[in-house]
Structure 1
Amino acid sequence: MLEIFSEFYNSVLVDFTDSKKRVYWGYLLAALVIAAVWLVQTKRVSVGKAISVIFSAKVWWSQSAKADYLIFLINKFSFLFIAPLLLTHITVSQWLFFKCYEWWGYQSVGNDWPLWTITALFTFSYFILNDFSRFFVHKLLHEVPFLWEFHKVHHSARVLTPITVFRTHPVEGILFSFRSIFVQGVLIAVFKFLFGDRVDIYMFYGVVVTTFLFNVFGANLRHSQIAIGYWKGVERWLISPAQHQIHHSTLPKHFDKNYGVILAVWDRWTGTLVHSERDQELEFGISRKVEANEQNVLYLYFQPFKSLFTRLMQISKPKVANDN
């Protein structure tokens, strides 16, 4: 039992101390600095006022934020038992590599390619496939009715803090785990098949750099009350924090918009892109109507299963013939 709690403690701690994690303390500090500078420069407030806005008790100690914190801890504990049951990207990559070899035989190419070229190609391929797959799965979570029942947990947040990124139902967490495993497994298998032994751990350095840049330049502000928008021309290509906040808006015109994580092109090409507005002020949540149990953690965990069961019963219910 002590071993389990020690593992749980370490899994929580690593999110704030590992630079590969979204809420690493350094990235949180960078977000704080960016938010403060933005408020001082655009809202013309003092540094003290900017800090008070950023650390507003109405946000950080709201019922919604407290639910975020509790869900974060519960998910961390539950995934200690779920994670060992999931496939790993190594398993996927090995299976796919041998399948490629079985289908096409030995196909090693690029033996005379500079190593930096292969690394750059791997980095670019990972960035595009990873970003598109996150967009695609996110879109499915909204547009497939039974998946939306689980994704509602995330959108039930009434305020946004960096910890809101962890406000997810375990079913959604498992789905995104499979997404990550698929992306890494496929890319490793394909590059290993094409470039053989020239593919090694160094290929991931470029991936680490892109992740670092995304996080250090304010990724944590996406889930915040600080609506930092970009110029419209930039928002055609990159999703700004303000655009993601639009995604959480209770306004019907904002529903099912801005699914993207980094690139805005997927939303632009599928007609779901909405640009931020100057001085936008939004309410967050599933709807403007406040539900009695929307911050009750037990309700958030079990209601999706109840809703799913109700949907299945309605589908399976035989239709009554119309005598007329």
Structure 2
Amino acid sequence: MINKIRLAIRNDLEASAETRQFGSGWISGFLALVASIAGLLLLLSQRYPQWFSMKELALIHNQTIFSFVIQSILVIAFLLALINLVLRRNKILGFSAITLVFASLLIGQLIDPQEQYIANAYALGFDWFVLNLLLTGLLFIPLEKLFGRLTDQPLFRSEWREDLFYFLISSVLVQIISFLSLSPSMFILETTGSWSGFRLLVAEQPLVLQVLEIMLLTDFVQYWFHRLFHEIPFLWRFHAVHHSAQKMDWLAGSRMHIVEIVGLRGLTIIPMFVLGFNQQALSIYILLVYLNATFVHANLRFNVEWLKPFIVTPRFHHWHHGIEKEAINVNYSIHFPWLDKLFGTYYMPPHQWPKGYGIGGHPVPNGYWKQFLYPFQKKKKTK
């Protein structure tokens, strides 16, 4: 029964463009499903913060505004579901959303919010997943619809379920990933107390200069990390998971093996924390790199040529994912493309985009768990 419902939901989400037009009830059904899932996950994070909440976000759970937000989301989901039921012949999205709304109401009635939150550094971040998905989705989905390069690429394109699952895993495991990523930097900080004077000088620099320095340092570290993950066969097997995506959009960048995520963040964080940049500069950089990582993978026709030498653009990074032979082992930079020019790995044919994406022969299997195990199996390097 559950599998039939899941397939029915999937089929309606992936329905043809002709049956998804405005007035068909598809948009209201899709939004109702998203809102009902968001409301349920936020409610679970409020009722069980020790299991399902990021500790920084759990601090606001007992505030009236948080409960109001949850209630508003559920009301909106219910109203949108009713519109879907009225307009659409296939009513699975509306019925599913209403079921989740009533499940949320039942949980809300049976379980009271905890008066005192006990921090759990290993809790799943349901609330962070919802916030993360809504922020990036609400920003980049309209941008791709308005300024998309491949205008016929649907929102629910092939492989969307895999990439969404990667997004889910990296979001709900945010506290565990952060702990593992920060551990090397914390160890270095504890053993380099004599650097306090230097760190104070770094933290007193103008804010803009600090952010620029962080971008330069992290890009240099990430360039070589990225390059090694292409050129060393064992490491490539982890990075091949990221390159297995055959469609590029705002969600595609989420497809990364968790070992690579921890390694990349762990090394990148070291210069940021150890050198003493102040918290405001770190926060600005984290926001910038968060948006940039989504931006460069997005399906956007960003063709501002005069910016091409100075910052990484979607076209630059899309060539890094290109399936053409010329696109193998090029364009490693995250922020500044001149690093690739400096080290001989720059490739940017004028006014051209890749004809396709992925790895020649497509050796990486489909499915999250098969891809998780893929690096540990003996495979030939194919790119």
Asked if TM exceeds 0.5, the reply is yes
Quote the residue 1:205 is aligned against: 280
- Of the candidates 164, 167, 173, which is equivalent to residue 72 of structure 1? 167
User: How far has the Cα of 1:284 moved from its partner?
Assistant: 0.7
Question: Is the aligned partner of 1:174 residue 2:283?
Answer: no
Change (3 A) 1:30 1:61: closer
Letter in 1 for 2:193: F
Unaligned runs of 5+ in 1: 18-23, 44-49, 192-202, 312-324
Query: Which residue of the partner structure matches residue 97 of structure 1?
Result: 193
Give the CA deviation at 1:9: 0.7
Shift of 1:34: 5.2
Structure 1 residue 165, shift from structure 2 partner: 1.8
**Alignment partners' CA distance in 2, 1:185 and 1:116:** 15
Shift of 1:64: 1.9
Corresponding residue number in structure 2 for 1:265: 338
Shift of 1:107: 6.9
Q: Partner of 1:13 in structure 2?
A: 130
Task: Please give the per-residue CA displacement for 1:121-160, whole angstroms capped at 9, x wherever unaligned.
Answer: 4333222111211222111111121110100000000112
Q: Is the 8 A contact 1:227 1:245 kept in 2?
A: no
Instruction: Report how far residue 176 of structure 1 moved.
Output: 1.3
Q: Report the TM-score, using the length of structure 1 for normalisation.
A: 0.68
- C-alpha separation between the residues in 2 aligned to 1:219 and 1:83? 17
Contact 1:246–1:258, Cα closer than 8 Å, also in 2: yes
Match of 1:146 in 2: 234
Note if contact 1:159-1:224 (Cα within 8 Å) is conserved in structure 2: no
Counterpart Cα distance in 1 of 2:253 and 2:199 = 40
Q: 1:80 to 1:30 in 2, by over 3 A?
A: closer
Alpha-carbon distance in 1 for matches of 2:325, 2:240:
15
For residues 244-265 of structure 1, the C-alpha deviation after alignment (integer angstroms, 9 at most, x for no partner) is: 0011011011111111111011
**Compared CA separation, residues 162 and 61, structure 1 to 2 (3 A):** same
Q: Determine the structure 2 residue equivalent to 1:305.
A: 376
Contact 1:246/1:282 (<8 A) preserved: no
Q: Counterparts in 2 of 1:1-150, with a 5 A limit? A: 3-6=50-53, 7-16=124-133, 24-25=135-136, 28-31=137-140, 35=144, 38=147, 53=151, 56-57=153-154, 60-78=155-173, 80-81=175-176, 83-85=178-180, 87=183, 89-98=185-194, 100=195, 117-150=205-238
1:278 aligns with 2:343: no
Tell me, in whole angstroms, the C-alpha distance in 1 between the residues paired with 2:238 and 2:145: 34
Q: Residue 67 of structure 1: SS of its match in structure 2?
A: helix
Q: Secondary structure at the match of 2:322?
A: coil
Q: Is the 8 A contact 1:227 1:280 kept in 2?
A: no
Name the structure 2 match of 1:239. 312
Q: Which segment drifts farther, 239-248 or 77-86?
A: 77-86
| One-letter amino acid matched to 1:13 | V
Give the distance between the partners of 2:286 and 2:173, measured in 1 at CA: 26
| In structure 2, C-alpha distance between the alignment counterparts of 1:237 and 1:142, rounded to whole Å | 24
- Which residue is equivalent to 2:98? none
- Opposite residue 226 of structure 1, the aligned amino acid is L
Query: How far apart are the structure 2 equivalents of 1:14 and 1:134?
Result: 27
Structure 1 residue identity aligned to 2:260: E
Number of residue pairs aligned between Structure 1 and Structure 2:
263
Q: Relative to 1, partners in 2 of residues 1:13 and 1:96: Cα closer, same or farther, differing over 3 Å? A: farther
Structure-2 separation of matches of 1:82 and 1:205: 22
Query: Which residue number corresponds to residue 317 of structure 1?
Result: none
CA RMSD of aligned residues (A): 3.5
Query: Following the alignment from structure 1 to structure 2, what is the Cα–Cα distance between the partners of residues 285 and 10?
Result: 32
Alignment check: 8 A CA contact 1:229 1:276 kept: no
- Alignment of 1:248 onto 2:321: yes
Unaligned runs of 5+ in 2: 1-43, 54-123
Q: 1:84 to 1:204 in 2, by over 3 A?
A: closer
Partner residue of 2:366 out of 248, 270, 295: 295
Displacement of 1:177: 2.4
Give the TM-score taking structure 2 as reference length. 0.58
Partners of 1:107 and 1:211 lie apart in 2 by: 23
Cα offset, 1:85, TM superposition: 4.8
CA distance in 1, matches of 2:349, 2:282: 28
Change (3 A) 1:109 1:173: closer
Deviates more, 1:83-92 or 1:165-174: 83-92
Q: Percent identity?
A: 20
